[in-house]
Amino acid sequence: MEGSSYRVVFEKGGVYLHTSARKHQDPDSLIAGVIRVVEKDSDVFLHWAPVEEAGDPTQILFKKDPSRGEPSTSEEEPTFDPGYEPDWAVISTVRPQPHLAEPRKGAEPSSSRSSWAFSVSLGELKSIRRSKPGLSWAYLVLVTQAGGSLPALHFHRGGTRALLRVLSRYLLLASSPQDSRLYLVFPQDPSALSDSFHHLQLFDQDSSNVVSRFLQDPYSTTFSSFSRVTNFFRGALQPHPEGAYSPNLPPLPDDEPEPGFEVISCVELGQRPTVERAPPVTEEEWNRYVGPEGRLQNVPELKNRIFSGGLSPGLRREAWKFLLGYLSWESSAEEHKAHVRKKTDEYFRMKLQWKSVSAEQERRNSLLHGYRSLIERDVSRTDRTNKFYEGPENPGLSLLHDILLTYCMYHFDLGYVQGMSDLLSPILFVVQNEVDAFWCFCGFMELVHGNFEESQETMKRQLGQLLLLLRVLDQPLCDFLDSQDSGSLCFCFRWLLIWFKREFPFPDVLRLWEVLWTGLPGPNLHLLVACAILDMERDTLMLSGFGSNEILKHINELTMKLSVEDVLTRAEALYRQLTACPELPHNVQEILGLAQPEEPSSPSPPVSPMPLSPTRAPLPPPLPEEVIPQPDSSLEILPEDEDGA
């Protein structure tokens, strides 16, 4: 081996082989070792050796049997199972070749444990499988191109995620849709992708079309045959500079595979444009858009003015009814009056439904009783510092209560979930009419009702979309957040759930919402608002050395300190910067409303929202107890490694 050179780029101790099939291992069946990733000449090797033999990592070779075209095995050596997953947790169907290095002093030259040492070129790997979460320690099973499994590596001190990070510098890892804990391995060189896509044959009957689309347009192609691949593909399209942040791992899988397949790639964004916001629309200006018979004219132009400047306070009571779909932009004044009369009758019929329920009946209707109890509790704590709602016997509180309970009659499957009172309060404050406030609230809930559904699929999707936007806009910030166990952006959960209601002063919330309700410049401006806030705070976050707790604390302390005009200006600038990029990935274009979603291979049946338990509360207690909500683990996009690393 004279003249060869090598460099150890990763080393982790406490990596064991379990040589017994029992679930509870005895000490003699555990072989402690060191895992290393080694750059040797023009190749990269994954090397494991027992502690007493972990000296020179360059001399251990993974040897194939030329006669069989696969790794050599020994019939005399048993195969082992760690006892957790009979289908995968095989210790060794491949018999490693003993290394050739001289043993260090004090080591047994003929130690039987040393025979387990192995080294395999990363180019020989076909797939990597992670253990299920919740085990005493995590393990990885590595499968070679020839179909054999290397000894399962058990990380007693954590480190699976760190190892996969390092491997992602040299490989592309894609999680399989059939098994969310199985990562397929592809070469890092994009020109070699076509040679490795034979893996797709295992998962996609129409893989040839997938390969063609990817090779023609690697930035924007969305695969339906896989679950999500994150910025491992970024590494294939742009080399990592020495010392840069390592790519983030794919989202650690839940038990359910994620739908779809997303390519997140590094694109060159142009210079961010300068944006200036306009003054608010005044009542005089609004009246210029009112034509004969009270019909509004040039509605797109009017909406654009509201987007760019908002509304003057005196105009909101009328304009919000249009923005929230209660009144039609195209109808005449007489048609509006008839519509209001009809909706007034409808509202009071629904209100009478719960008003006429006796106490005896309610005792036998636990769901209605639960809704009422939760509404009463939340209303008593909603915006009590606002003069419109302050005081012990404030009539505004009674209106909040009645509107929310009537909404339970209107949308009984959804009912009431904590946080809805936050959305109703500003609407009632502005329109100051029970019926109008109810129907405006219904219009708002049409936009955000998915946020409150028990499955939380809408919240998961939005957090994923936010992460995708942020990766395209600021990959270093994403890498930093991920390095501090904050890459899932769960601290943004409340922002998206109730549209920043608790993050801005009350008057600023009114301005923010009316701008968002225009639907301009695209359907997900609220995600760019979140990106804008993070962009404003990026230097504070990255230069301060914050850990995960400090990041959470800092984000929480932004409450009531943000300027809505500054945030909206930056959000619009981010939108223009993204839309000016000619290589914007297709999935980002979909989020911004620039492209239609790709047709799924087979339509999914519509799913009705499940009834909610009135006790489910994704929000923390209202002000002043400002604590960021902690969603359940299924919300994690980049969840914590199951081994704690």
Of 297, 326, 637, which is closest to residue 465 (Cα–Cα)?
A: 637
Whether pLDDT at 336 is above 50: yes
Cis peptide before 621, with omega less than 30 degrees from 0? no
Q: Which pLDDT band holds residue 596 (cuts at 50, 70, 90)?
A: confident
In this structure, what DSSP letter does residue 47 have?
E
pLDDT band at 144 (very low <50, low <70, confident <90, very high): confident
**3-class DSSP state for residue 45?**
strand
| Predicted pLDDT at 342 | 98
What's the pLDDT at 40?
Answer: 85
Give the Cα separation of 587 and 434 in Å (integer).
41
pLDDT at position 176, please? 67
* Residue 244 clears pLDDT 70, i.e. is over it: no
Q: In what order do the strands lie in the sheet with 6-18?
A: 118-121, 43-50, 30-40, 6-18, 153-155, 138-144, 125-130, 182-187, 171-175
Q: 3-state DSSP call for residue 176?
A: coil
**Range of lowest pLDDT (16-25, 49-58, 197-206):** 197-206
Q: What is the pLDDT of residues 493-550, one digit of tens each?
A: 999 999 999 999 999 999 999 999 999 999 999 999 999 999 999 999 999 888 889 9
CB of 521 within 8 A of CB of 307? yes
Q: Label residue 312 by pLDDT band (50, 70, 90).
A: very high
Residue type, 182: L
Is residue 91 within 8 Å of 114, Cβ to Cβ? no
β-pair partners for 12? 35
Question: What are 578-588's pLDDT values in tens digits?
Answer: 999 998 999 99
Is the pTM for the entire model greater than 0.85? no
| Residue 182 near residue 176 (C-beta atoms within 8 A) | yes
Domains, the chain, ordered by start: 1-19+28-52+116-188 (2.30.29.230), 331-454 (1.10.8.270), 455-595 (1.10.472.80)
Helices of type H across 77-217: 160-167, 193-196, 207-216
- Say if residue 624 is preceded by a cis peptide, omega within 30 of 0: yes
Q: How far apart are CA 229 and CA 250, in angstroms?
A: 6
According to DSSP, residue 256 is labeled S
In degrees rounded to 5, what are phi and psi of residue 395? -65, -25
H or E element at residue 9: strand 6-18
Cα-Cα-Cα-Cα dihedral sign, residues 456, 459, 465, 469: negative
Q: Which of 43-57, 165-179, 255-269, 445-459 has the highest mean pLDDT?
A: 445-459
Residue ranges of alpha helices (H) inside 238-312 are 283-287, 299-309
Confidence class for position 184, pLDDT limits 50, 70, 90: confident
CA 363 – CA 367 distance, rounded (Å): 10
Determine the average pLDDT of the residues in 172-197. Answer: 62
Record the tokens describing residue 364, joined without a space: 């036998």
Alpha-carbon distance of 276 to 123, in angstroms, equals: 53
Residue 635 scores a pLDDT above 70: no
Helix ranges (DSSP H) in 217-365: 232-237, 283-287, 299-309, 313-323, 333-355, 359-363
**246 compared with 505, residue with greater pLDDT:** 505
pLDDT in tens, 55-94: 544 444 443 333 334 333 333 333 333 333 333 333 333 3
